[in-house]
Each structure stands twice: as structure tokens, then as C-alpha cells.
Structure 1
């Protein structure tokens, strides 16, 4: 497989995620768009690790300008991002569900942060 393909796919996923965050009004869909962006970063990390390892495969470690990298360091970083994404989804979904219980809507444009602002909007 050519080394450019994962980078192009990751950039398309990241762009789709940015579009989803900027364009969507539903909080659940915004969380899904953030997940797309995190998965694009995971793909870049793993592809970069594989690319660097393929390039440095025939080179003696003494000739490297940097210390020998840990094996599969891109996958290790991707694992940390997956854990971070799971925590983000758990907390974000809990906040969205609590807001839905209170206000019966998850449209981001209608989110009211202060009760006094809500009273001003209702009374007009």
C-alpha cells in the first residue's frame, strides 16, 4: 500500500469531523463528529509509525540521529487517544442526556446556560 493513502483518508475523516462540529446543531451528532476527528488522528499516528519503521528498516540504529523508538509507539499513542475518546463520550453523553431530561431538546443553538437568561427569553 502506498504511504499517501492513509494520510489522505485521515485528512478526509478529519475534514468531515470539522464540518460536523461546525455545521450540526444536534449535540449527539457533534460528539460523533469529534469522534471522527479523533479517529483520523489515530490513523495518522499508526500510519506515521509504520512509514517511519519502513524507512528505517535497513538502517543501522547507530546511524540514526535520534534514539531507537519504542516498538509500535504510534499504536500506543492511538490507544491513549481511544481511552481519551471513551472518557469524552461518557462525560459528554451524560451531560447531553441530563440536559435533555431537563429541557427536552439537544439542539445546541437553544442551550441556555443561565436561568435568568431563560426567563428573559421566555418572557420576551
Structure 2
């Protein structure tokens, strides 16, 4: 049995749910960032799945281009977020919970 479109959509939905759960429950900035990455990867799975199971060659390429664009945006978002986390760590010499962090001026 080969996996069809519903199988990929279920995997994407589970990844999305785990990402939302991680964003909502984690207090650490790195944990929240991991949850956001899971959410973006679930969107990539859906883009590729719909592109693979669509009818024309043009829509297959479009799905892959959307997924590649999403991967580039996720890498940029990860770089900026990790730079902010490192700046906070340098200022406070510890990892701070998201609730404690109110401004970056401190």
C-alpha cells in the first residue's frame, strides 16, 4: 500500500498540533522556536503533498517552490530569533522564561 494524500495530511496535522502544543506550553524561548519550526514544517509537508498529487506539472512545481520559499523564511526566522536569544543571554547571563521577558531595553 502506497501512502496517499490523506496520509500526508494526517502527518502534517499531527506536526501542526505538536507545534501548537509546544508553543503554548514551553516557557523557554528556544522551546517556542522549536514549536514554530514544527508548524512551518507541517505546512511544507502539505505543500509538497498537494503538489505531488495534483494533476498538472505546473502546479507540481508551484508546490515545491512554495515549500522552498517557506524553508528559506524559516531559516531566516530561526537566525533572527537565535540572535535575540543570544543577546538576552549575554545581558542576563541566564536563559529567561518568556513571561519574565517584557522589554529588550534592560
Q: TM-score, normalized by length of structure 2? A: 0.88
Q: How many residues align?
A: 103
Residues 19-78 of structure 1: per-residue CA shift (max 9 Å, x gap): 11111000001001100000000000000111113xx6xxxxxxxxxxx73542111100
Q: Give the 3-state SS of the residue equivalent to 1:52 in structure 2.
A: coil
Q: Does 1:87 align with 2:89?
A: no
Gaps of 5+ in 2: none
- CA distance in 2 between partners of 1:114 and 1:48 (Å): 41
Where has structure 1 moved over 4 Å in runs of 4 or more?
A: none
Gaps of 5+ in 1: 57-67, 119-124
Partner of 1:27: 29
What is the CA RMSD across the aligned residues, in angstroms?
1.8
Q: TM-score, normalized by length of structure 1? A: 0.76
Structure with greater Cα Rg: 1
Contact 1:96 1:106 in 2 (8 A): no
Q: Give the 3-state SS of the residue equivalent to 2:103 in structure 1.
A: coil
